[in-house]
Structure 1
């Protein structure tokens, strides 16, 4: 009888395993409980992304829209995720003259800059979230590291941010500084072109973000 019961139990266990595999449940081992990651969906309509670039004599700023993504949450902390940006939505909000704005946007979306036709999506994948011990309420409480992909080039960047999870909502806000030349955007850079004087454009630009996920 034992010889028949043991194989039957084993077969039952193997058949049942796929039903539970991959479900985000807490697992308990050696007296400890491991909380599984939960996925929060980025809400593009509630999130914002602004850009700011400067040159020797002037500067421009504007917006671009998130297209989607996921944030990973463990307990009440952000631990990972990926966000996508629709580069076709990039705008310059400081240039009010319609003709000048159109000319500028034609240039910034060209291969001299973001090459939007060939690279319509930019992504940022979080690889590490290092929380700042003793951060003041309302201040940046984490340093986020991740892989930023623009124009088909991927580089790791790190920046401070304020992150939190509460009431089924995960949020992250802050400002990241990006060296555009690392993404093959070299137009007007003194690092690559000599003698351009006051026509030079700074290598660094900033991205100010507020990401909301549910």
Structure 2
């Protein structure tokens, strides 16, 4: 009798488990902004990069998975006029010193875990997202805090974080790898502001 009861409970858990619902990322309403920093001065460069596709999976109104793809050739500097250094910096970033976008035209982030932040306060990140970032053909784990909201028909994900570019073999003017560049060193950290809007 106990075995039958246990089997019934187990089967019920599988039977009534709510299926994941897929939400498609709205490319026009979503954005990715980046910031690069100097190590020994207050200067920085900012820009944008476009998404090519993405989807988010929701189960019981909780984000449980998803992915988004980035068009590396859309990378653009925005803090300088195009004809006054902006275009030159953009092309440098696309080259082999940085992201080698001809050889690696896309990057991919795949969510592997989403954890709710305990006692999250208003206007602060309420989840930690962990996933795999494939950049320049290299896969590494990336974890960042995010604010996630859902109203049943849309899902919004907003995040602001930094990641270490050298883990993806982007080492140009890194003080950790080039000891003779002095004040010309560039920070290993790249700042990202991510805003995703996905709909059913």
TM normalised by structure 2 equals: 0.89
Q: CA RMSD in A?
A: 1.5
Structure 2: unaligned runs, 5 residues or longer: 1-10
Q: In 2, are the aligned partners of 1:50 and 1:64 still within 8 Å (CA)?
A: yes
Higher relative contact order (CA 8 A, sep 6+): 2
Spell out structure 1 runs of 4+ moving beyond 6 A: none
Look at both structures and tell me which one has the larger radius of gyration over its CA atoms: 1
Secondary structure of the corresponding residue to residue 81 of structure 1: strand
Matches within 5 A, 1:37-186: 37-55=20-38, 56-57=40-41, 58-96=43-81, 98-186=83-171
Structure 1: unaligned runs, 5 residues or longer: 1-27
CA distance in 2, matches of 1:106, 1:93: 13
Aligned to 2:187: 202
Query: C-alpha displacement at 1:130, in angstroms?
Result: 0.5
TM normalised by structure 1 equals: 0.83
State how many pairs are aligned.
Answer: 187
Query: C-alpha displacement at 1:96, in angstroms?
Result: 1.8
CA distance in 2, matches of 1:163, 1:99: 39
CA distance in 1, matches of 2:157, 2:121: 16
Q: In 2, are the aligned partners of 1:158 and 1:176 still within 8 Å (CA)?
A: no
Question: 1:45-87, CA deviations, whole angstroms, 9 ceiling, x for partnerless residues?
Answer: 1101100010133210111111111101001111110101111
1:33 matched to 2:1:
no
Query: C-alpha displacement at 1:30, in angstroms?
Result: 5.2
Question: 1:160-212, CA deviations, whole angstroms, 9 ceiling, x for partnerless residues?
Answer: 10012213101110112110001010010011111101110000111110011
Query: C-alpha displacement at 1:32, in angstroms?
Result: 7.0
Query: C-alpha displacement at 1:31, in angstroms?
Result: 9.3
